[in-house]
Amino acid sequence: MDQAFNAIDPGRLRNVVQMFWDPLPSNDTTRNLPTWVLGKSYKLGPRAITTTTTTTTATTTISGSDGSSRSTPKPPEKAQEPQQQQPLLEDRQHAQPPAESTTGHHNPSSQEPPKVDTSKNDASDVEPTPPPSTTASTPAATASTAAQNTQQQTDTPPESVTSSFDSTLAYEEIPNCENGGWPPAFLEDLESRIWMTYRSDFELIPKSQDPDATKALSFTMRLKTQFSDQLGFSSDTGWGCMIRTGQCLLANTKLFLTMGRDWRRSQGGEGPLLSQFADDPRAPYSIHNFVRHGSVSCGKYPGEWFGPSATARCIQALANAHEPDLRVYSTGDGPDVYADTFMKMAKGENGEFHPTLILVSTRLGIDKITPVYWEALIAALQMKQSVGIAGGRPSSSLYFLGAQGQNLFYLDPHFTRVRLPYRDHPEEYTEEDIESCHTRRLRRIHVRDLDPSMLIGFLIRDEVDWEDWRKAVKHVQGKQVINVADYDPLVMGEGAIADVETLSDDEDTILDEE
């Protein structure tokens, strides 16, 4: 019996439970860890922290009161967790890497993953007000009040965390309990990212006539093609999630370039971008064109699940064909980026640097991500050049776009919606069309539960951005997930062979003369 229980995979069991019960995650406001979305960090302000830590005392004091008379809340005790973070921060500051690497990153594994707070405390939205005092104006009372304020400021965790990556910390007031205690600006940023999901009822993608095509499909898809999708596929449910997360990565890259990193959904204007990802062969980045290129260049049949490498090659080919101002550099099947080949692609013949999307297809373990990579992987999402990660689950891709502690936030493509139509005039998109490409639904997963195969994306805007990114990936905590070298050994090898051949010719000439 014990052996049977030990054989159960907790991760698989958790996934089954989440199919029926998947509550919204809550933010542990007492710990106040920064929340990250593609290189930007959000954090509750000191007022929210102080109010949260005194909630229990305030609730006890004003129980049964109408709120007109309140007791002064007790200051947080030294044993409370926010007061314990300061020594850890000081220890980490002494252990920083060399000066050139101290412009950024938060060490995610130095703190435990945030605890999910499912309790709702009505007092957390109210800042307790001390009762009026007749002695408040005396010098002694003034000095006492100042000392108490100083003590509270000392006990409050620092507003920024020493990090090896630059970030913009947005401090928020007390969060709405209905939002799980998350900073409102964090949720607005999350909702503003483009979200691509399964679609149905689009123009048929014909089945391949290759006899081996059926063998490449999953068991479920083989059954569907025998009984329902005999001519082709009008939905990508069950096989298109990696393509959809690749679309997420590319769409948000283009969104940053055209609308800016600080664009928010309330500003509107994303119609022209969405039309390029419509579920129609006329759209350059439609699932039809991903499948077409995957079939021609990657050996992927319609209805077959794509991997990170095939998705990267499709993104590169489609972008090169339709984007005059965006270049795509793909590492192939490894984590190595070579400066010489990158600069050659980014600059082109005229020497002018073009914004370039770096796609790193990598595998960071066998069944799970090896723990030595955890910190560097989370740090990748904290870099200002980050445009997200596609992959991360076995044959079930997700789009990761943020982190808190050792948990990653993601957009899930496994929801089937009616096709996104192609519009000749993007302003004709309905609110329903646009809303289907955004979500405020927060989902998170611990880094230990990720599949090690993934596609990591970075947008390099100029040469300064390139140099900053090189330093950032080099000076991460833990083991690097990306390697940057000056020269591509294959290119150097070709040059070395040419030199050897030239030298051999010269030697033969000398011998002939002798």
Backbone angles phi and psi of 362, in degrees to 5: -145, 165
Residues in the chain, overall count? 514
Eight-state DSSP code of residue 311:
H
Whether 414 is catalytic = yes
Structure confidence at residue 2 (pLDDT):
55
Indicate the angle between helix axes 287-297 and 241-259, nearest 10 degrees. Answer: 120
Q: Which of 125, 177, 336, 414 is catalytic?
A: 414
Residue type, 124: S
Structure confidence at residue 229 (pLDDT):
65
Reduce the secondary structure of 360-421 to three states and give it as a string.
EEEECECCCECHHHHHHHHHHHHCCCEEEEEECCCCCCEEEEEEECCEEEEECCCCCEECCC
Who's near 431: CB < 8 A, 6+ residues apart?
A: none
Separation of alpha carbons 136 and 142, rounded Å? 6
Query: Which pTM was predicted?
Result: 0.71
Place of tokens 């000749």: 424
CA distances for 160 relative to 32, 40, 52, 166, 339, angstroms: 11, 12, 18, 11, 33
**Burial degree of 125 (CB within 10 A; 0-12, 13-18, 19+):** middle
Distance, CA of 355 to chain centre? 20
> CB of 165 within 8 A of CB of 383?
yes
> CB of 147 within 8 A of CB of 153?
no
Structure confidence at residue 106 (pLDDT):
45
Angle, CA of 121, 42 and 355, to the nearest 5°: 155
Q: Which two tokens stand for residue 345?
A: 């692609």
Helix (H, G, I), strand (E, B) or coil at 39: coil
Q: How many other CB atoms sit within 10 Å of the CB of residue 307?
A: 18
Separation of alpha carbons 25 and 443, rounded Å? 7
Backbone angles phi and psi of 205, in degrees to 5: -95, 110
Separation of alpha carbons 287 and 293, rounded Å? 10
If we measure between CA atoms, which residue out of 350, 352, 349, 356 comes closest to residue 327?
Answer: 356
Across 136-160, b (16+ Cβ under 10 Å) vs e yields: eeeeeeeeeeeeeeeebeebbbeee
Q: Which two tokens stand for residue 272?
A: 């022209």
Separation of alpha carbons 44 and 61, rounded Å? 25
Q: What string of pLDDT tens digits covers the 514 residues of the chain?
A: 455 545 555 555 555 555 556 788 999 888 889 999 999 999 876 655 544 443 434 444 444 444 444 444 444 444 444 443 333 333 333 344 433 333 344 444 444 444 444 334 433 333 444 444 444 444 444 444 444 544 444 343 333 333 333 333 333 444 445 688 999 999 999 999 999 999 999 999 998 777 777 777 776 776 776 666 668 899 999 999 999 999 999 999 999 999 999 999 999 999 999 999 999 999 999 999 999 999 988 889 899 999 999 999 999 999 999 999 999 999 988 999 999 999 999 998 888 999 999 999 999 999 999 999 999 999 999 999 999 999 987 778 999 999 999 999 999 999 999 999 999 999 999 999 999 999 999 999 999 999 999 999 999 999 999 999 999 999 998 999 999 999 998 866 555 444 444 444 444 444 444 4
Q: Which of 117, 412, 433, 451 is catalytic?
A: 412
Q: Which two tokens stand for residue 410?
A: 């993601």
List the domain boundaries for the chain. Answer: 191-487
Q: Which two tokens stand for residue 145?
A: 């009040």
> CB of 199 within 8 A of CB of 286?
no
Eight-state DSSP code of residue 276:
T
If we measure between CA atoms, which residue out of 480, 372, 388, 443 comes closest to residue 40?
Answer: 388
Separation of alpha carbons 426 and 21, rounded Å? 38
H helices within 37-183, ranges in order? 46-53, 55-61, 81-94, 139-155
If we measure between CA atoms, which residue out of 15, 68, 40, 8 comes closest to residue 385?
Answer: 40
Angle, CA of 387, 476 and 181, to the nearest 5°: 60
Separation of alpha carbons 463 and 409, rounded Å? 30
Q: Which of 241, 248, 298, 314 is catalytic?
A: 241
